[in-house]
A and B are shown apart, each in its own frame.
Chain A
Amino acid sequence: MSATSSTIVNLPDQRTAALPKRHYLNNEDGLLSWLFTGDHKRIAILYLISITFFFFIGGAFAGLIRLELLTPQPDLVASDTYNKFFSMHGIVMIFLFLVPSVPATLGNFLIPIMLGAKDLAFPKINLLSWYLYWVGGLFTLAALVLGGVDTGWTFTTPLSTHYLNTHVVTAATGVFIIGFSSIFTGLNFIVTIHRMRAPGMTWFRMPLFCWSNYAASILMVLGTPVLAITLVLVALERLVGIGVFDPTKGGDPLLFQHLFWFYSHPAVYIMILPGMGVISEVISTFSRKRVFGYTAVAFSSVAIALFGFFVWAHHMFIMGVSNYSALVFSLLTMLVAVPSAIKIFNWAFTLQKGSITFETPMLYAFGFLGLFTIGGMTGVFLGALGMDIHLTETYFIVAHFHFVMVGGMLMAFLAGIHFWWPKMTGRMYPESLSKLAAVTTFIGFNLTFLPQFILGYLGMPRRYHAYPPEFQVLNVLSTAGATVLGVGYMLPLLYLGWSLKYGAIAGNNPWQATGLEWQIQSPPLTENFIEIPIVDHEAYDYEWLAHKTAHEVTTVG
């Protein structure tokens, strides 16, 4: 492969190539073999189908929200219906899509392979976590079908406990159960990474994808139980009137905020860290270089996880926390920017003097870099006390977290799906169509959410379905962008489905990447490795790969 080549894709000769005879997809047949599987790869596929389903449900609500906001008047739906729309959008997207998105699909599929193991440590618990996900998902759908819930995804008291007649307890039960699904995924990852690494796979030889999922797993294991107990208390308060969050009985609504955000702020890092792992893999592969500052990137994941537990009160700056604690939490919030910036700078230095090619995963990764940087920087705005008081509860916040969650995590998720699609299915997606999708997504995203920064700065509050007429131009732009974004998300669904049957045969290592997962057949065998590999090189060692492939050619020839 010459240095001037515009692509690194290296596919087998399509006239003779075929999928391997045995692999995890055809190892056993029938629905039951999927529903009772212990194979981490099959569970990953089950998760992928499930979260895609919920993603489009959440997306439909996003579309309805944008449609209502097309005009200043409240003309499409009544205000309480609108409240149900954004509540369901938030609950579905956060708990049923973003939290499990990368860990439960790509993480489940790849972590054992990347470590050189045959499976996760607890395959049955892994399957259980998928079932719990569905039980929780069905409770959430039940809340939706029975008439919805309008607390917002935050279940804020006393609104959720005293003032609403909607299906708060049903939705909270759903989230409670999904929480356990997330705990089990995290627990499985931590034990697997500690105990199942192949001989020679030291901590600092692990791919950065494993490091970032490890950091996210720590957050899942330590944070999610606090959400669970908080939701139990909300349900008890609502059903029995115990008074723990009720000021008339001596309770403190602010206690709810502390407990809820103790999980829900770290949850933001649960959602973004695995995505950062994807970006590390993609950027290294498509610039043919070891990730610059590997150790710093690895530790910055852990640092984000650690700092993430000490910033929660920045969600309460206007809720009456003391000035001193606001000051401390403001400072700590800005500290989180440091490890995030370490990552961004290290990725930039990885690109420097690399042999960069622009395949679809790389396009999504570039989208991530820009959008996450904007999302992160506006987070610093919001962490500043004076600025926060002006901007909180406006569309500035909405734009900020969509830049991080959608511009960051969803871009990373799509980058990862495209990057590992040949490994998961054995077939390539259509390249030009997918590049079109990546660009469409990027344009649609910016058109949707950049106007919202301006709207928020001008003072348009979030969670209202009507607004002053002077905001209409920006809202129309945002709705138009959402339409483009919707097309950008529909495209992969269509062409990835198409590629399952008609895509080019990918071969073992279409990207010439270095990870262990690329050294085995695509799709992999159920047991991943015929014999457990012995790892004798660092992650992202392209010289090792060149040496290995050269060797292969001579023996085959």
Chain B
Amino acid sequence: MDNAIVATHPHTHETAVAAEHEHAALPQHRHHFETEGQQREAATFGMWLFLLTEIMFFGGLFFAYLLYRNWYHDAFVVASNQLSIPLGAANTAILISSGFFMALGVWAAEVKKKSLLVLFLVLTTLFGVAFLGVKADEYHEKWEKHHIPGAHFDVSEFINPHAYGLKEQPLAPDMAQKTQIFFFLYFAMTGMHAFHMIIGIVLLFWLTWRAHRGEFSAGYVAPIENFGLYWHFVDIVWLFLFPLLYLINRHPGT
């Protein structure tokens, strides 16, 4: 398809110059691109490739998850049931809302509405921060229960659940140790996700400031568009993490 476009391109030097003059209004046009369209396409394509590398990055963790969930299914079920569905579900809703406002932000930039764009970027940021707040609360609970992998990891709740008022089946001590693998994966995967969100929020501050200066309301929308791709990618990772970590088997024994 690419082939056809280039081969049949009725592109001569004169039209290239003409096209450059036509769009000369945009100061963001960089000299080494023939046209502004080429610049925008290149940026978007680069972003998709970057997201591909991100998929491979998370892929290593998903592979580890697949392996250990198969090996230590019982431990994964019990440990997974320690996570709070209401908090996880609320966070899913919060993150989807954040993504929704991001999508609206891209639209606002495309129709060149400056104040709407700033508003939507601020809302995107607020929902992103809310997500991290809930996540921090969940992490804090694990800290108090000694469910953070490492020297202080405590398995008593899984060996003797009835003493803690849990209705789970007790695990044999060696299988109970394997809950540590689950919690490690939980922290690694959600932690890596949260790290991507923190980077995203920093970028959002920067983009909001630039949007406020009106940089994206004159037809130059590539940064907003590409950040949108990144933010939606972070959303989608969570949409996989939530069922994989929170919903392994909520009705053990049935």
Contact = CB atoms under 8 A, between A and B. Distances in A.
Contact of B177 (A191, A192, A250, A527): A250
Find the residue from B49, B72, B150, B188 having the highest chain A CB count within 10 A. B49
A490 interface: no
Contact of B63 (A122, A204, A259): A259
A122 B32 CA distance: 9
B32 A534 contact: no
Nearest to A241: B150
A532 B9 CA distance: 14
Interface stretch (A193-201, A281-289, A327-335, A390-398): A193-201
Contact of A241 (B7, B16, B151, B177): B151
A51 interface: no
A152 interface: no
B141 interface: no
A230 interface: yes
Nearest to A40: B32
Contacts of A236: 188
B100 to A, nearest CB: 28
Given A224-B53, A226-B56, A195 B45 contact: yes
B53 A240 contact: no
Given A236-B188, A250-B68, A187 B177 contact: no
Given A119-B32, A242-B184, A250-B68, A191 B49 contact: yes
A249 B181 contact: yes
A253 interface: no
A226 B59 contact: yes
Given A202-B7, A532-B16, A258 B63 contact: yes
A252 B33 CA distance: 49
A251 B185 CA distance: 11
Interface string A204-223: 10000000000000000111
A455 interface: no
Contacts of A250: 68, 71-72, 177-178, 180-181
A194 B151 CA distance: 50
Interface in B10-61: 11-13, 16, 31-34, 38, 41-42, 45-46, 49-50, 52-54, 56-61
Given A226-B57, A226-B59, A240 B52 contact: no
Given A190-B49, A243-B149, A225 B54 contact: yes
Given A118-B31, A200-B6, A250-B177, A229 B72 contact: no
Contacts of A531: 13
Interface in A260-285: 262
Interface in B115-141: none
Nearest to B75: A250
B150 A229 contact: no
B149 A222 contact: no
Interface string A235-251: 01000111110000111
Nearest to A251: B181
B36 to A, nearest CB: 13
Interface string A91-117: 000000000000000000000000001
A258 B62 CA distance: 13
A195 B57 CA distance: 25
25 contacts: A183-B53, A191-B49, A192-B42, A194-B2, A195-B42, A203-B2, A204-B3, A221-B49, A221-B52, A225-B53, A225-B59, A229-B59, A229-B60, A233-B60, A236-B188, A240-B150, A242-B150, A242-B180, A243-B181, A244-B181, A249-B181, A250-B180, A252-B67, A259-B63, A259-B64
Given A122-B42, A233-B64, A534-B11, 8 more contacts: A187-B53, A225-B53, A225-B59, A228-B57, A229-B61, A233-B188, A527-B31, A532-B13
Interface of B: 2-3, 6-7, 9, 11-13, 16, 31-34, 38, 41-42, 45-46, 49-50, 52-54, 56-61, 63-64, 67-68, 71-72, 149-151, 177-178, 180-181, 184-185, 188
